[in-house]
Amino acid sequence: MTSEELDIDFKDAVERINNLPGPFPADFLLRLYAYYKKATNDYNRPNSNKPIINAFKTNALFQVQNITQDEAKRIYIDLVNNYCLYRK
């Protein structure tokens, strides 16, 4: 898969998940959050009003720190595809 194809698939996955009605499982949202941030090179600190939410987000980001941007995109795409496939 070329870099352009990966970008297209990633943007499609982001759009698909954003258009699905919630609610989503919290652990799924944290994984999406971390891989999205890594895939987009967005290193802004979590800014929730609740410190516990910021702690969970920071931990999720810490767990993906050693993967590449392209790996993060692939994993994000896989998460969305699997979620859509098995969603009830």
Domain count along the chain:
1
Asked whether the beta carbons of 65 and 37 are under 8 A apart, the reply is: no
Residue 45: domain span? 3-86
Average pLDDT value for the chain:
92
Identify the CATH number of the domain in which residue 16 sits: 1.20.80.10
**Rounded CA separation 68/64 (Å):** 9
User: What are the pLDDT digits (tens) for 8-51?
Assistant: 999 999 999 999 987 899 999 999 999 999 999 987 888 888 99
Q: What is the mean pLDDT of residues 59-76?
A: 96
